[in-house]
Structure 1
């Protein structure tokens, strides 16, 4: 099963420990995580279900391409990282 990791700066706002869930796409995996932790959804996805502008999702070291439909494929061995992108000067 894919493993999902959340950065410490996101964990300051909502409890989101590393978790392992089933899914064949980023969307399926994140849906399983949000089923366990509904409050986390609003931090990661916008109202339309797309990845928020200041969030990034990586699968096996590669940034996902489909930030709207979340259709990027994952494998049972995939490592998924959800990272709050920092901006500023």
Structure 2
């Protein structure tokens, strides 16, 4: 099963789960996760259902392609890291 891994930056706000999923794509995996952890949705997705600007997702070491559609395919053994993007200067 693919695994969603929320990094500890989000742990300041709530318990951050590691979630196993059989979803075929990122959107399906996130929707399934948010069904069980609804508070987490607001920290990851904006009001239109796209990825918040301060969040980035990596699937098997590659950044998710489209932050609005979130339609990247997942392999059965994919590891999906959801983390807050860092910026600074």
TM-score (norm 2): 0.95
SS of alignment partner, residue 82 of structure 1: strand
Structure 1 stretches of 4+ moved >2 Å = none
Structure 2 equivalent of residue 25 of structure 1: 25
* Coordinate RMSD, CA, aligned: 0.9
SS of alignment partner, residue 32 of structure 2: helix
**In structure 1, how many angstroms separate the alpha carbons of the residues matched to 2:22 and 2:34?**
12
Structure 2 equivalent of residue 43 of structure 1: 43
Residue segments in structure 1 that go unaligned for 5+ positions in a row: none
Residue segments in structure 2 that go unaligned for 5+ positions in a row: none
**In structure 1, how many angstroms separate the alpha carbons of the residues matched to 2:79 and 2:56?**
14
